[in-house]
Every structure is written in structure tokens, then in C-alpha cells.
Structure 1
Amino acid sequence: MTERVVPPAARRRRRPTKQGVVLSEELIVATALRLIEEHGADALSVRRLGRALGADPSSLYRYFRHTDDLMLAIADELIGRTLRTWNPTGDWRADLRELGLRMHAGALAHPRAAVLSSYRVTGRVHEIEAVEAILGVLRGAGFPDAEAVRIYHAFVDQTLAFGALDSASTALPGPARAAEASVWRATYARLPAGTHPNIAATARHLVADMPRSSYPAALELLLEAAEARLTACQRRPVAE
């Protein structure tokens, strides 16, 4: 794609595509997201996307400068989908837990797109809304500004990292996922205590726990640490 994006007010096509639909940024993003989940990153080509939309590939330049611009829009759409399902209650810890779990679930719902977009900074409307909302939760709980940013950073990076990690696993073919899950029982659970005492002592827990995502536990540890930091901040004497 090139650098000739048309302003939003001038983007709407006067005629439908060959499939009878009118192009829009939302439609292009939704179609690209579907193609990525079906075919992987290679789906983000102007030709394939135009074919799926029943439109001349050149018409996509009216909406996005290049495929990376489209990728940022996809990343922002995933954020938006999560935010639309999140209803803060005023309990900062419960609200962050719920948002984190929804972000993680959203990544698993679109694993290939999540792997491609987890490390991107979009600067778009939904990401801005998310940053504002999370900082609002933390500042509203009483975290000083520097602490609020530090915890926001750790919370978001942890969630995105687990989303990408677990999405990459989810995107594996079924037989490969099953083979990896079986390693804990077939290999680790059979190691003798004489050579591997710690693994042998915890083998049944490893077999039960390791095939699952550790994100919920990691999120809880982060929230516990954040609450401890909040308590410490509240106990500090106020500077005169």
C-alpha cells in the first residue's frame, strides 16, 4: 500500500462492491481479521483482501496507507472489542482482574492476530480509551501518578505477553498441542527422585497445572503486589 489515504468524509464508495457491500474501514478490518485467523499473516495482502471484499485492491488505499497501517487498525479493533464488554464497578482490583481476563480471552479468540499485534502501539481511539480507563482505575484507587503508570505498564505488558504466548500455543495444530501437553505426564512424571528430587516431589502438581495457562495466577500475583504497594504509599508520611 502507498501513502495516499483519503480523508474519512470522502472514503465512502458510491457503488457497492461486486459482493453488494459498501466498503468501510470497519468492514476492511473485520475481513482482514477473519483472513488472518484463517490463513495467517500472509492474508494481509492487498490482492487477497480485495478478492475477499469483492473490490478492486486499489480501493483499499482510500482507507489505509499500507498493510502495517491496517495491522494497527486490527490491533486497535481487538482492544475495542474487549472494552465494549468491560463494565467497571469501582472496585479497582476486581475491575483490573476482569479487564485482564477479558483481554486474555480476547487474544485467545483471535490467536493469530493477537500474536501479530500484541507488541504494537497503535495510538488509535480504542488504545487511548484503554490507557485512560486503566490509569483512571489506578488513580481513583489512590495510587500516586508514578505508581499508577508503573502498575499500568506491568499490567498491560503482562496481559499482552500472556495473550501472545497462549495464543501461539492455541494456534498450533491439534496433534502438536496434545503432544506437548503429554510431555509432563510421559516425561516429567517419570523422572526418578534419585536424580531429580524436586521434579519427582512435585510431579503430580506439574501434570495438573502446566498444561493450563498461568495467566490467572500471574494476574493475581500482580494485583496482590499492587495492593501491597498501595498500602505502603498510604502509610508514607506526607512531606511538609
Structure 2
Amino acid sequence: MNERVVPPAARRRRRPTKQGVVLSEELIVGTALRLIEEHGADALSVRRLGRALGADPSSLYRYFRTADDLLLAVADELIGRTLHAWHPTGDWRADLRDLGLRMHAGALAHPRAAVLGSYRVTGRVHEIRAVEAILGVLRGAGFPDPEAVRIYHAFVDQALAHGALDSASAAMPRAARDAEAAVWRATYARLPGDTHPHIAATARHLVADMAHSSYPAALDLLLDAAAARLAAAAPASRS
């Protein structure tokens, strides 16, 4: 795609495409998300997207300046889908835990797009809403502004990193995933205690635990640390 773009008010296509649908930003983003999951972001092209929509590829320039602009819109769409199902209750720790788990689940539902979105800043409506909401939860809990930003940063990066890590694993062929899981049983569980005492002592726990994502445990550790910092800051604020 190039840098041509039509103002938002003029973007809506008046005539249906060859498949009888009317183009919209939402339709294009949803179709791009599907194609990314089927073929990968590198394989997404204006030609392929136009073919999937039954539209002339040039018509997509009415909605997005560049291919990168479209990819950012796809990343923002994933954020929006997570926020749609999340409703803060006023319990900051429960709310952040719920949001983090929803972010992780959303990444696993769209593994290829999640890897793409894990390192991009979209600056779009859903991301802005997420930043505002998370900071609101933290500031409402009583975290000082510098601490709220620090915890927000760690919380989001942790969720995105684990989402990308687990999404990359989920995107592997089933045979490859099974082979990796078997290593813990076939190799680590058989190491002798005289040469590898710590692995041998914890082998059964390694076999049981390493087959699952560490994100829920990592999230709880982060929230534990945040709660401890909040408790420590409370007496200082009263002095």
C-alpha cells in the first residue's frame, strides 16, 4: 500500500463488492485477521485481501494508508475484543488479574496476530481506551502516579510477552509440540540425582508444570509485588 488515503467521512463504499458486501473498516480488519491466522502476516497482501473481499485491491486505499496501517488496525482490534468482555468491579487486583488472563486467552485465540501485536504501539482507539482504563484502576487503588505507570508498564509487557511466547508455541505443528513436551519426561525426568540433584528432586513437578503456561503464576507474582508496594506506600503517604 502507499500513502494515499481518503478522509473517514468519504470511506464508505456505496456499491457492493463482487461478493455482494459493502466494504467497511471493520470488514477489512476482520478479513485481514482471518488471513493472518491462515497464512501469517508476511503473506498478507493487498491483492490477497482484495480477492478475499471480492473487491478491487485499490479500493482498500480508501481505508488504510499502508499495509502497516492495516496491521496496526488488526492489533488494535484484538485489544478491543479483550476490552469488550472486561468489566472492572472496583477490586483493583481482581480486575487486573481478570484483564491479564483475558489478554492471554485472546492471544492464544489469534496466535499469529498476537505475536505481531506484542511489540507494536497502535495509538488507536482501543489501545488508548486500554491505557486509560488500566491507569484508572491503578490510580483508583491509590498507587502514586509514578508507581501506577511503572506497574502498568510491567503488567502490559508481561501479558504481551507471555501471549506472544505461548502463541508461538501454539502455532507450532502438533507433532513438534508433543516432541517438546516429551523432552521433560524422556530427558529431564531420567537425569540421575548424583549428577543433577536439583533436577532429579523436582522432576515430577517439572513434568507436570512445564506442560502449561507460566503466565497465571507470573501474573500472580506481579500482582503480589504490586500489592506489597501499595501497602508500603500507604504509611509513607500518611506521614
TM-score if structure 2 supplies the norm length? 0.99
Partner of 1:202: 202
CA distance in 2: counterparts of 1:125 and 1:43, whole angstroms: 26
State whether structure 2 residue 111 is matched by structure 1 residue 148: no
Partner of 1:5: 5
1:112-164 alpha-carbon deviations (Å, 9 max, x no partner): 00011111000000000000000000000000000000000000000000000
Partner of 1:14: 14
State whether structure 2 residue 42 is matched by structure 1 residue 42: yes
1:212-239 alpha-carbon deviations (Å, 9 max, x no partner): 0000000000000000000011011557
CA distance in 2: counterparts of 1:166 and 1:56, whole angstroms: 36
CA distance in 2: counterparts of 1:40 and 1:70, whole angstroms: 14
For the aligned residue pairs, the C-alpha RMSD in angstroms reads 0.8
CA contact (8 A) 1:32 1:43 kept: no
Partner of 2:121: 121
Secondary structure at the counterpart of residue 123 of structure 1: coil
1:43-91 alpha-carbon deviations (Å, 9 max, x no partner): 3200000000000011111111111100100010000000000011100
The 3 A distance-change label for structure 1 pair 50 and 237 is: closer
Secondary structure at the counterpart of residue 236 of structure 1: helix
One-letter code of the match for 1:203? Answer: A
Partner of 1:234: 234
CA distance in 2: counterparts of 1:100 and 1:13, whole angstroms: 37
CA distance in 1: counterparts of 2:87 and 2:14, whole angstroms: 38
Q: Kindly report which structure 2 residues correspond to 1:22-41, keeping only aligned pairs within 5 A, or say none.
A: 22-41=22-41
Q: Kindly report which structure 2 residues correspond to 1:1-240, keeping only aligned pairs within 5 A, or say none.
A: 1-238=1-238
One-letter code of the match for 1:175? Answer: A
Q: Which runs of 5 or more residues in structure 2 are unaligned?
A: none
- Count of residues in Structure 1 that have an aligned counterpart in Structure 2: 239
1:178-236 alpha-carbon deviations (Å, 9 max, x no partner): 10111100110000001111000000000000010000000000000000000011011
> Which segment is superposed worse, 71-80 or 33-42?
33-42
CA distance in 2: counterparts of 1:12 and 1:125, whole angstroms: 19
1:83-107 alpha-carbon deviations (Å, 9 max, x no partner): 0000111000000000000000000
TM-score if structure 1 supplies the norm length? 0.98
Secondary structure at the counterpart of residue 113 of structure 2: helix
Deviation at 1:28, TM superposition (A): 0.4
One-letter code of the match for 1:5? Answer: V
Q: Which runs of 5 or more residues in structure 1 are unaligned?
A: none
Deviation at 1:42, TM superposition (A): 2.9
CA distance in 1: counterparts of 2:61 and 2:28, whole angstroms: 11
CA contact (8 A) 1:90 1:137 kept: yes
Deviation at 1:11, TM superposition (A): 0.6
CA contact (8 A) 1:43 1:49 kept: no
